[in-house]
A and B are shown apart, each in its own frame.
Chain A
Amino acid sequence: MSEITIEGVRHLYKPARGKPVLALDDVSLEIAPREFIALLGPSGCGKSTLLYMIGGFLPVETGSIRVNGKKVEGPGPERGIVFQHFALFPWKTVKQNVLYGLERQALQRGEREARAQTFIDMVGLSGFEDAYPSQLSGGMKQRAAIARTLAIDPRILLMDEPFGALDAQTRHLMQDELLGIWRRSPKTVIFVTHDVQEAVYLAGRVAVMSARPGKIMDIVDIGLDKSDPDLQRSKAFADKVDQLWRLVRDEAIKAQQGRRPL
């Protein structure tokens, strides 16, 4: 049985001014419990929009989204999200941000503090507990946002390009950290990315989306042994990356042409 069932979802943005934008058109996707799935697609194809709908932030007007058989009707703490633009509370320090979600859980004060500290340390922000987001670099903000979401231990993790602002090294460390967490605790991860290598490295399946209006064009099974330390240098890895590249490139070209006037 699938944990998340998305059926025929469409989303039309109706801005107060300007023309309505069809962001998603007839998206269907089944995601199994404990699955790690990546969403890959050109900029503006509706990846964030789809994540917002699963998160329960945008209403599902056409089609349906079910989580464990229940229709999504609003946000819930079992679906944690890391936003593309971090969405840290600017008036709270790193520590206060991470504590925010924990304060709404039945935990002792000491437990909360310890848990917050664990995740701050994990993302490498020790020493910046009392810094405000405005005092952090883009990558540091991103890591603080990841710590905040991981700390509340949601069963479903929605991650919107969570490593986009990180340098290559930090990115690698965070990828392995995320894989470790995913292996240790039962979690379903929906991971949005632009980066083909990252998708192949992390995910069990990769859903490739078309240019706007976003549809699921293809679902590619990765089927690689993720515990292999030399995975990224293997031929099988390179082949998968290649296969996905082709799919994505065609869509990126379409997205570009769509943007050109006439």
Chain B
Amino acid sequence: MNRALRCLPLLILALAWEFISRTGLVSGSALPSLVKIGEAWWGLARDGDLWTHGAASAWRVGAGLFCAIVIGAALGIGMAWWRPADMVLGPFVEIFYPLPKSALIPVTALWLGFGDGSKILLIALGCMLPVTIGAYNGARSSDRTLVWSARSMGAGRLRVLRDVVAPSALPELLSGIRTALAISFVLLIASELIVARSGFGYLIGFLGANGTYEPMFAVVLTVAFLGFVADRLYQAFTRRVFAWRE
């Protein structure tokens, strides 16, 4: 019941969309009917375009995010744990954090060309800092008596890092990763729209340029849906990790 109620606004939006499109309040190409978009989607899925471009996008986002999370988390925890690392790397983090990440699109294309490499690097660079900052703040906030507690029970420095600092950093680290997840979709589509020959972003641009708006909308809605699902899955995952938090 509750769930059905939460879907209600979406249903209303869909009905309004369909109504506007059918009555011709807005031109059919600006807002194609949902039924037609559905048919176009089916066509793309049957031809395999959706899957080949989807696979290209998935690989880019997956590999890029993986690098961002591993490097970002290691960097953040390392900076919190070891002062010299903080002093050397801290200024770089501060300078690059506010940089609009999409500005890197031409840069990474220049370095690595139009293929997967430039997208993976872009997503890795663009998503790394939110993870770093989350891990850093989380690790810095670890309760000193927890650290002392572990030390007094015979834990050495490395063990304290693993047993106390890292788990203390986890909540903020995971929320940093959620931000990174959202940024990664933005960067993926933007870079594929501009400099790519495959991927969802490329497909959207290509279909739009050809004036085939129904399949274009089909891909746009697919990307929106996938972004939503990824975020939901991620939240379910973090809830499991935090069984101890109540």
Contacts and interface: CB of A to CB of B under 8 A. Distances in A.
Interface string A28-46: 0000000000000000000
A85 B244 contact: no
A77 B153 contact: yes
Given A77-B153, A77-B154, A104-B154, A89 B148 contact: no
B153 A134 contact: no
Interface in A53-101: 55-57, 74-77, 79-81, 83, 85, 87, 89-92, 100-101
A108 interface: no
B145 A132 contact: no
B153 A100 contact: yes
Given A83-B145, A89-B146, 14 more contacts: A55-B152, A57-B144, A75-B148, A81-B152, A87-B146, A87-B149, A89-B164, A90-B244, A91-B167, A101-B154, A132-B243, A134-B244, A134-B245, A134-B246
Nearest to B167: A91
Contact of A90 (B148, B150, B245): B245
A132 B244 contact: yes
Interface in A90-133: 90-92, 100-101, 104-105, 132-133
A83 B153 contact: no
A148 B167 CA distance: 19
A95 B155 CA distance: 18
Contacts of B152: 55-57, 75-77, 79-81
A52 B167 contact: no
A135 interface: yes
B39 interface: no
Nearest to A74: B151
B167 A89 contact: yes
A29 B244 CA distance: 42
Nearest to B143: A87
Contacts of B145: 83, 85, 87
Interface string B126-169: 00000000000000000111101111111100000001100100
Interface of A: 52, 55-57, 74-77, 79-81, 83, 85, 87, 89-92, 100-101, 104-105, 132-135, 148, 152
B151 A75 contact: yes
Given A77-B154, A104-B153, A57 B243 contact: no
Contacts of B163: 89, 100
Contacts of B150: 89, 100
Nearest to B244: A132
A89 B20 CA distance: 57
A216 B167 CA distance: 39
Given A87-B143, A91-B244, A132-B246, A152 B153 contact: yes
DSSP majority for the B interface? helix
A91 B151 CA distance: 17
A146 B244 CA distance: 20
B146 A105 contact: no
Contacts of B243: 132
A52 B149 CA distance: 11
Contacts of B246: 132, 134-135
A148 to B, nearest CB: 8
A85 B145 CA distance: 9
Contacts of A104: 153-155
Contacts of B144: 57
Interface in B87-115: none
26 contacts: A55-B148, A57-B151, A57-B152, A75-B152, A76-B152, A77-B152, A77-B154, A80-B152, A81-B152, A83-B145, A85-B145, A87-B146, A89-B146, A89-B149, A89-B167, A90-B245, A91-B167, A91-B170, A100-B153, A104-B153, A104-B155, A132-B244, A132-B246, A134-B244, A134-B246, A152-B153
A135 B243 CA distance: 11
A104 B163 CA distance: 13
Contacts of B164: 89
Contact of B154 (A87, A92, A105): A105
A21 B158 CA distance: 32
A194 to B, nearest CB: 19
Interface string B17-28: 000000000000
A149 to B, nearest CB: 8
A88 B58 CA distance: 41
A12 B177 CA distance: 40
B192 to A, nearest CB: 39
B168 to A, nearest CB: 9
Nearest to A101: B153
Contacts of B167: 89, 91
